[in-house]
Amino acid sequence: MSEAMSRKMFLGRAAAGGALLSAPGLLRAAAASAAAPALPKTITFSNWPLYIDLNKKKQHPSLLQFQQAHPGTTVRYIEDINDNDSFFGKIEGPLSQGQSVGRDLIVLTDSSGLPQRMIQLGWLEQWDKSAMPHFKNLIPAQQHPIWDPHREYSLPWQSGMTGIGYDPKKVGYEIDSVDKLFTDPKLKGKVTLLTEMADTMGLVMLSNGDDPSHVTQASWNAAKTKIQKAVKSGQIRQFTGNDYAPLLANGSIYACFAWSGDMVQLQADHPGLKWIAPKTGAMIWTDNMLIPKGGDVYGASVLADWFYIPKIAAEVEDYVNYICPVTGADKILEKSDPAVAKNPLIFPPASLLKQTHQFDANALNNVKYKQDFQHLIGA
Amino acid sequence: MRWVRRHVLDGYAILALVYLFLPISVVVAFSFNAPKGRFNYTWQGFTFTNWAHPFAFPGLGGAVRVSIEIAFLSSLAATVLGTLIALALVRYKFRGSATTNLLIFIPMTTPEIVMGASLLTLFLNWRIPQGFSTILIAHIMFNISYVVVTVRARLVGFDRHLEEAAMDLGANELVTFFRVTLPLIMPGILAAGLLAFALSIDDFVITYFNAGTTITFPLFVWGAARVAVPPQINVIGTAIFVIAIVAMIANVVFQNRRARRLA
Amino acid sequence: MGKLLHRRAWVTPYALLTPGTAWLVIFFVVPMYYLGKMALSQGLFPIFSFGWQWHNFGDSVSEYSTQFVRSLEYAGIATALALVISYPLAYWIAFRGGRWKNLFLLLVIAPFFVTYLIRTLAWETILSDNGVVVRTLQAVHILGSDGRLLATSAAVIAGLTYNFLPFMVLPLYVSLEQIDHRLIEAASDLYASSPISFLRVTLPLSLPGVFAGVLLTFIPAAGDFINAQLLGTPQQYMIGNVIQSEFLSLRDYPTAAALSFVLMGAILVLVLVFARILGTDRLTSGAAA
C-alpha cells in the first residue's frame, strides 16, 4: 500500500489508530504532518529513449504499477532526450527566464557537466527526501559524488561504462589497450572515437597513465596531441555519437570507443562483437534524475523513489541492460532472469568497477578545454 | 538506333529515379527485417511482424499523426501566403520590392539551429507555450520562402496574353484570375505545396527547439536512434509514401475516367 | 505589356504581400533582431551583455575561414551535380510525363517521408566498406584496395546532392512544363536540329527554373551540418557544424550568432552575383516583360 494513500487516510480520520501506522514511511509522515502535499494529477517525466521497461504490449509496467499504486495520478512519459547538450539548449531558454519547462523529472548525464551546471545556476529543485523511503537503496559507490555530495538534487537512473568495442574477427586478436587503436596500422581508418569529451579524453588520458579525475594542463595536452596525430594521419576515421553501432555492425570500422549498454544490444544480433575495459582503465558515467525548477517536487520525488524499490528496479533493469544503481535488484533478477543478473556489463563485479574512472567534474565546464576538444573533432 | 535515341531520355529518367529510390528500397527491405536486438543495421531474417504491428512502439503513432497534421496545415498556409507574395513580386513594380526579395531570401540562408533558438526566444518573451501551435508557426515561417521561389519560377514565364484575351472577352480581374491564371499556374502551386509538405515532415532542428513536450516523427526517430532503430520506423516511412502514391494514382485514374466521360 | 493596371492597382501588391510578409516579419525578423543583439554581445553562458562587439564578426571569420570556404565549395559542387542530375529528369516529367506528371513529382519528394536519419543509414548500408558498391569499385580500381566511400568528402557531397535533389527538380519542372511546345515546333520548322532547338529555345526559357533550383539547393546546402557529421571526418566539417558546436556544446551564443550572420551575408552576396550573371530582371519579374 502506498504512502500517499495511507497519508490521505490518516489525515482523513483525525488522530491516529495504530492499525494504520504500519509502513515506516507513515510514522515519519505522521510526525511531519498536517500540511502533507498531495500528488499532482499528472507527473511529466522526460527520459532517454528505450531507457525504461517495455513489455510485449509496448507498455511500461513499472509506470502502470506506479499509477495503480497512486490512483488519481498519471505519469506522462516522454522520450525526448537524445543528447545532453541539445536538450539543455532547449530547456535553458525557459529556465533562464524563470519559466517552467513543463516537466517534473528529467534525466541528464553527469559526464556532460550539465547536472552540475544546473545546480550552480540554481535551476534544479531539491528532493523531498521525506517522501523517499527507498533512497537508502542507492548503491554505496554512488552516494557522494563530488558535485552533489549529499544527493540533494540528483539521483542515479542508470550508469554505463565507456570502453572499447571491437570485432575480434576483423581485428584478428583480442584488443586490450587504447594504444592498440592508435598504433596498429591494420586498424588505420577503421577506428572511431566518441564526441563525448569526458569519454574520449578520459580514456586517452588513462592510456597515458594520467588520472582523468584530476585534469592538469600537462595531462590534457598529452592526450590532445595523441589524438591530433592520429586524426591527421587518418588512423582515426571519425568522431561519433552512438552511430558507431551501424558502422561496427556492417564492418566499416573494426574497433571504437563504445558504451557498454550498446554492446549488449548489438551482441543480440552480432554475438561475435566484444566490449572490454582497457587495461589502463575505463570511464564510467551516470544518468541522473533531476527536478527542473518549476517541476512538482513532491510528485517527482515520489516517482523517483518508486524506481528505488528493488522489485521495480529489477523490472526496469531486465529491459534496459545498463548498470543498475539500486541495491537488491540483482538478487531479484537472479531468480527471474539469471542471464541478466550474471552479465558483467549489467551488474559489474567489484573488480571491474575498480577499473572505472570518472572525469574531473571541474574540467567538464572549463571553456578552454571544451574549445580545445571541439577543435579536435573538427568544429 | 533511332529507338535508342528516342528513348535515351526515358532511360536516363529511369536511372535518375532508381538513384532517388536506392536508399528507399533499402529502407523498405529492412522494414521486413527481424533483428533480435534493438538495432536494425544488418539483415537477420525476413518477417511480417513489423508490418503486422506497425504502431507497436509507444508514441510512434502519435508522433506520425502530429507530423502529418502539421505538414498538411503548414504547407497549405505557406502555399497560400507564398503564392500571394509571388504574385505581387512578379506582377507589380512597387516600392519595397527589393526589401521584400531580401526578406524572402534571408530565411533560407539562416542556419536552422539559430533560427530555431531565436524563435524560441520570441515565444518565451511573449509567453507563448511551446507545443503544436508553435511548431506550426515555425513551419509556416520557413516554408513561405520556398513557396515564393518555386511559384515565382512559374509566374515569370507566364503568358499574359491569355489574361488579356479573357479580359477582352469581358471577364473582370477576379474572374480572370480564378478561371485563367490560377489553373495555369496550378502546377507551380502544387509543386510548391509538395515541397513545403516534404520540408515540414522532415524538419528536425527548428522543430526540436519549439516543440515543448510535443513529439513529431523526426523527433521520435532521432530520439530513438540513440538506443535503437526499430524496424517499425521503416514500416511507417514506407507506409506513408505508399499511401500517398496510391492516392495520387487513384486521383489520376479518376481524372482519366472523368475526362473520358466528358469527352 | 498587360493592361492590368487601373485606379486602385497601387494598393494591390501591398494587399497581396501583407499576410505573408507580416508572418515573416513577426516570426523571422523579430527573432533575427534578438540574434543580432546576441551577435554583438559577449560573455560566458548564461550571462551575456550587449556591447556593440563588432569584433565578433571578424574574429569568427578568421578563426573558421577554412570551414566557411569548404562549405561554399561543397554546396557549389553539390548544386552543380544536382542540376546535372535533375534537369533531364525534370525535362522528362514535364515533356513526357503526360497525365502521370503529378505522380512523378510525388515520387521525387517521396524519399522525404522517410526521415533524413533513416535515409542516411540506408546509404551507410549501401556504401559500407564491405558492401557491394565499394567492393565493385575496388575491383575495377576506381578505389584503392583499402579505399572507402564513407567518411570522405565524396560521401558528404553525395549526401548533400541526394538530399537536395527535390529542391532542384521541382522548380525546374515548374518552369519547363510551362514552355509552349509550339515554340519548339516553330524552331524545328525553321530547320533547327533537336540539340539546337533545345539550346536556343528550351534552355533559355527554363532559366527561371534553373535560377530557382540553384537558389533552393545552394542556400540551404551551404549551412548544412548533418551530412558532414554522419558521413565525414573532421577534415570535412562545414561551417554548419561549427555553428552547431558553438551553440550547443560551447554555449558561446555571441560567436554562434556572429557566424550565422557572416554565413547569411556570404550566401546573399554569392546569390546576388549569380543573379547578376544570369540577368535578374528576366528571372524574377514578369512586370518588365
* Nearest alpha-carbon partner for A229 in A181, A278, A277, A174: A181
Do A206 and A91 belong to one domain? no
pLDDT in tens, C66-84: 999 999 999 999 999 999 9
When comparing pLDDT for A341 and A118, which is higher? Answer: A118
Q: Nearest residue on chain A to B215, judged by CA atoms?
A: A80
**Looking at residue A22, what is its pLDDT?**
42
Q: What Cα–Cα distance (Å) separates residue A227 from each residue in A161, A168, A359, C235?
A: 21, 23, 17, 14
**Is a pLDDT exceeding 50 seen at residue A5?**
no
Give the confidence band of A20 by pLDDT, cuts at 50, 70, 90: very low
User: According to the model, what pLDDT value does residue B219 have?
Assistant: 87
Higher pLDDT, B70 or A80: B70
Average of per-residue pLDDT values in chain A: 86
Long-range contact list for B183-188, CB < 8 A, 24+ apart?
B184/B158, B185/B151, B185/B154, B185/B155, B185/B158, B187/B154, B187/C101, B187/C173, B187/C174, B187/C177, B187/C178, B188/B150, B188/B151, B188/B153, B188/B154, B188/B155, B188/C174, B188/C178
Q: Give the tens place of pLDDT for each residue, C136-162.
A: 888 888 888 778 888 889 999 999 999
pLDDT tens across B24-59, in order?
888 888 888 877 776 777 777 888 877 777 776 777
Q: What is the pLDDT of residue B226?
A: 60
Whether residue A271 sits in one domain with residue A299: no
Interface predicted TM-score of the whole assembly (ipTM), two decimals = 0.85
The pLDDT, as a whole number, for residue B138 is 95
Asked if A250 lies within 8 A of C128 by C-beta distance, the reply is yes
Which of B2, B110, B189 is most worth mutating to test chain C (most C CB atoms within 10 A of its CB)? B110
Answer whether B85 touches C (CB < 8 Å).
yes
Are the C-beta atoms of A75 and A45 separated by less than 8 Å? yes
Cβ contacts of C202 within 8 Å, gap of 6 or more: C91, C176, C179, C184
Query: The dihedral of CA C243, C249, C251, C252: what is its sign?
Result: negative
Residues C34-75 have pLDDT tens digits of 999 999 998 888 888 888 888 989 999 999 999 999 999 999
Report residue A17's pLDDT band, with 50, 70 and 90 as the boundaries: very low
Which carries the bigger pLDDT value, residue B173 or residue A317?
A317
Distance of alpha carbon A132 from alpha carbon A75, whole angstroms: 17
pLDDT number for residue C281: 61
Residue C212 vs residues A39, A193, C53, C96: alpha-carbon distances, Å = 57, 41, 36, 22
Three-state SS string across B212-234, please? CCCCCHHHHHHHHCCCCCCHHHH
Which pLDDT score is estimated for A354?
87
CATH at residue A21: 3.40.190.10
Q: Do A58 and B39 touch (CB under 8 A)?
A: no
Q: Evaluate the CA torsion angle B182, B155, B162, B184 in order and state its sign.
A: negative
> What are the pLDDT digits (tens) for C80-137?
999 999 999 999 999 888 888 888 888 888 887 778 878 887 888 888 888 888 888 8
Q: State residue C253 phi and psi, 5-degree precision.
A: -60, -40
Q: Is there a contact between A44 and B213 if contact means CB atoms under 8 Å apart?
A: yes
Of the partner residues A231, A243, A367, the one whose CB lies closest to the CB of residue C44: A367
- Chain B residues closer than 8 Å to A269 by CB: 35-37, 39, 41-42, 44
Are A194 and A333 contained in the same domain? Answer: no
Q: Which of the four pLDDT bands, split at 50, 70 and 90, describes residue C258?
A: very high
Q: Do the chains contact at A374 and C250, CB–CB below 8 Å?
A: yes
What are A77's strand-pairing partners? Answer: A45
Domain with C177, as residue range(s), is 65-284
Query: Is the same domain home to A44 and A108?
Result: yes
Split into its structural domains, chain C has a count of 1
Inspect the interface and report whether the beta carbons of C223 and B110 lie closer than 8 Å.
yes
Residue C31 in any domain: the answer is no
Q: Report chain A residues whose CB lies below 8 A from the CB of B213.
A: 44, 46, 76, 78, 80, 102-103
Cell of C270: 554569392
Same domain, residue pair A320 and A331: yes
Is there a contact between A125 and A309 (Cβ–Cβ < 8 Å)? Answer: no
Give yes or no: residues A181 and A88 share one domain.
Answer: no
The one-letter amino acid at A328: G
Shortest CA gap B222–chain C (Å): 7
Mean pLDDT of C1-5: 45
Predicted pLDDT of residue C285: 58
Higher pLDDT pick, A155 / B247: A155
Closest CA to B27 of B236, B227, B245: B236
The percentage of chain A sitting over the pLDDT mark of 90, rounded to a whole number, equals 58
Alpha helices (runs of H) in B39-181, residue ranges in sequence order: 49-52, 60-91, 97-109, 112-125, 132-156, 160-168, 173-176
- Which own/partner contact pairs does B13-16 have at CB distance under 8 Å and 24+ positions apart? B13/C88, B13/C89, B13/C92, B13/C93, B13/C96, B16/C85, B16/C86, B16/C88, B16/C89
Cα distance from N-terminal residue to C-terminal residue, chain A: 54
- Say whether pLDDT at B11 is over 70: yes
Task: Check whether residue A193 and residue A225 sit in a common domain.
Answer: yes
Q: Phi/psi zone of residue B95: left (φ > 0), alpha (ψ -120 to 50 degrees), beta?
A: beta
Instruction: Find the mean pLDDT for residues C12-36.
Output: 91
Distance between CA atoms of residues A373 and B6, nearest Å:
57
pLDDT digits (tens, 9 = 90+) for A29-51: 444 444 567 899 999 999 988 78
Q: From CA C232, how far away is CA C229, in angstroms rounded?
A: 6
Give residue B191's identity as a one-letter amino acid code: A
Q: What is the pLDDT of residue B143?
A: 95
Min mean pLDDT across A180-184, A327-331, A366-370, B237-241 is at B237-241
Q: Does any CB of chain B come closer than 8 Å to the CB of residue A232?
A: no
Contact yes or no for A89 and C248 at CB 8 A:
yes
Write the burial class of residue A98 (CB in 10 Å: 0-12 exposed, 13-18 middle, 19+ buried). exposed
Residues B186-210 have pLDDT tens digits of 888 988 998 899 899 989 889 988 9
The predicted pLDDT at position A193 comes to 95
Subunits in contact with chain B (3 or more CB pairs closer than 8 Å): A, C
C-beta atoms of C242 and A379 within 8 A: yes
Q: Within an 8 Å CB–CB cutoff, is residue B122 touching chain A? A: no
- Residues on chain B touching A89 (C-beta within 8 angstroms): 117, 209
Among partner residues A96, A251, A371, which is closest to C250 by beta-carbon distance?
A371
Q: In angstroms, rounded to a whole number, what is the distance separating the alpha carbons of residues B226 and C256?
A: 26
Residue B135 touches chain C, beta carbons under 8 Å: no
Q: Is the pTM of this model over 0.80?
A: yes
Sorted by where each begins, the domain ranges of chain B are 1-54+230-263, 58-229
For residue A370, give its domain range: 160-284+354-376
**B103 vs C189, more confident:** B103
CA pair distance B107, B143, nearest whole angstrom = 9
Q: What are phi and psi of A44, to 5 degrees?
A: -95, 125
| Winning range, highest mean pLDDT, from A262-266, C217-221, C274-278 | C217-221
For chains B and C, CB pairs below 8 A equal 318
Higher pLDDT, C281 or A62: A62
Query: Do both A242 and A97 map to the same domain?
Result: no
C23 within some domain:
no
Instruction: Report the candidate in A320, A318, A299, A309 with the shortest Cα–Cα distance to residue A75.
Output: A299
Assess if residue C143 is contained within a domain.
Answer: yes
Interchain CB distance below 8 Å, C251 and A374? no
In a domain, C4, yes or no: no
Can you give the pLDDT at residue A21?
Answer: 40
C269 vs B contacts (CB less than 8 Å) = none
Q: Which of C127, C233, C253, C259 to mutate to test the interface with A (most CBs of A within 10 A)?
A: C233
Per-residue model confidence (pLDDT) at position C180: 82
What pLDDT score does A274 carry?
92
Across A8-17, B2-11, B237-246, C50-59, least confident range: A8-17
| Of A146, A179, A86, the residue nearest A363 (C-alpha) | A146
Across the strands, what pairs with A124? A292
How many whole angstroms separate alpha carbon B208 and alpha carbon B204?
6
Q: Nine-digit cell at C224? A: 548544412
User: What superfamily in CATH does domain B58-229 come from?
Assistant: MetI-like (1.10.3720.10)
pLDDT score at B227:
60
Strand segments, DSSP code E, in A167-276 are 191-194, 236-240, 255-259, 274-276
**A217 occurs within a structural domain:** yes
Q: Which residue from A minimizes the CA distance to C241?
A: A379
Residue A85 sits in the same domain as residue A196: no
Q: Do residue A252 and residue C130 have CB atoms under 8 angstroms apart?
A: yes
Check CB contact under 8 Å for A252 and C244.
no
Torsion of CA B104, B106, B109, B115, to 10 degrees: -100
The predicted structure's pLDDT at residue C239:
92
Are the beta carbons of C105 and B41 separated by less than 8 Å?
A: no
Least confident range from A83-87, A96-100, A151-155, C99-103: namely: C99-103
Cα–Cα distance, B159 to B166 (Å, whole number): 12
Residue A64 counted as domain residue: yes
User: Does residue A15 form part of some domain?
Assistant: yes
User: What distance in Å separates residue A65's CA from the closest CA in chain C?
Assistant: 34
Q: Is residue C163 part of a domain?
A: yes
CATH of the domain at C165: 1.10.3720.10
Both A198 and A317 in a single domain? no
Give the per-residue pLDDT at C284: 60
Q: Do B85 and C16 touch (CB under 8 A)?
A: yes
What's the pLDDT at A2? 38
pLDDT digits (tens, 9 = 90+) for B111-156: 888 889 899 989 988 888 889 999 999 999 999 999 999 999 888 8
Give the per-residue pLDDT at B191. Answer: 87
Instruction: Clarify whether residues A259 and A295 are in a common domain.
Output: no
User: Number of folded domains in chain A?
Assistant: 2
Residues of B in contact with C10 (CB under 8 A): 94
Residues from A in contact with C at Cβ < 8 Å: 83, 85-86, 89, 92, 96, 121, 188-189, 231, 237-239, 243, 246-247, 250-252, 367, 370-371, 374, 376-379
The reply to whether omega before B218 is within 30° of 0 (cis) is no
Same domain, A168 and A224: yes
What is the mean predicted confidence (pLDDT) over B3-32?
84
pLDDT at A6 over 50: no
Higher pLDDT, B187 or B75: B75
pLDDT in the model for residue A24? 47
Which of B73, B193, B195 lies closest to B65, judged by CA?
Answer: B73
Q: How far apart are the first and last CA of chain B?
A: 38
